[in-house]
Amino acid sequence: MIELLTPRQVDEMRPAGRFVAEVLTRLVEAADVGVNLLELDALAHDMIRARGAESCYIDYAPSFGRGPFGKVLCTSVNDAVLHGLPHDYALADGDLVSFDFAVSVDGWVCDSAVSTIVGTPRAEDQRLIRTTEDALAAAIEVARPGNRVGDIGHAIGEVARAAGYSVNTQFGGHGVGRTMHGEPHVPNDGRPGRGFKLRPGLVIAIEPWLLETTDEIKMADDGWTILSQDGSRGAHSEHTIAITHGDPVVMTARD
């Protein structure tokens, strides 16, 4: 069932979006050479406690993971691209790390992800990240009443392919509300004019992710972390957005 929120409910969700943005901004600042992924998870956990928020991840136990997750943050480094389980690893110069974070504040969930480079960047990593961000921006641009979910997926796929990347559609975006994952599914590729018709009050997470030289993935030994099949690096960009009568509102926008 697809839930449409009233403008008042969308307003009630804003603190969750602001908090998620604040935590991701802090994590990007903190991600430096020598910083351990467990320290970053602890930092996010401290911020959750201080805010009185509730983690969507710590007890998360979906069919595709070896649940419960047990951490509050996904940290996907280099050939890891999604659901990276924080582990005892100190970030090294040139690492590409993606943070994915979702919490509930006052009963409303927001979900967002950002990719960044630690220390000295490689040009191909910058291009990969920029393409996921461009794909996300193109998708948000078409997230308007009257368009369809397929238009969002199509926008993502077009940007990715134009940059020379292929798209894996096994994991994508989703409805967001009182819980982290609702309907509709928002695929990272699609046919324009197809799928669920977008309406004001629909709140969704849009989350393109790309791998440099493959669209095939495999599961890491930890039972959670999704890796590229060929060892190439991945990037992930996600925002929770609300569809309105006017422009789409990016609930998790960072300054």
Asked if 236 and 100 count as a contact pair (C-beta separation under 8 A), the reply is yes
- Tell me the torsion sign for CA atoms 235, 240, 245, 246: negative
| Structure tokens that stand for 82 in this block | 């999604």
* Whole-angstrom distance, CA of residue 147 vs CA of residue 170: 23
Closest separation between CB of residue 240 and Mg ion, Å? 8
Q: Which residues bind to Mg ion, rule: CB under 5 A?
A: 100, 111, 113, 205, 207, 238
Q: Nearer to Mg ion by C-beta: 220 or 230?
A: 220
Q: Nearer to Mg ion by C-beta: 79 or 100?
A: 100
Closest separation between CB of residue 174 and Mg ion, Å? 6
Burial (CB count within 10 angstroms: exposed 0-12, middle 13-18, buried 19+), residue 65: middle
Closest separation between CB of residue 111 and Mg ion, Å? 4
Closest separation between CB of residue 173 and Mg ion, Å? 6
* Whole-angstrom distance, CA of residue 252 vs CA of residue 255: 10
| Structure tokens that stand for 47 in this block | 């911020």
Q: Nearer to Mg ion by C-beta: 189 or 238?
A: 238
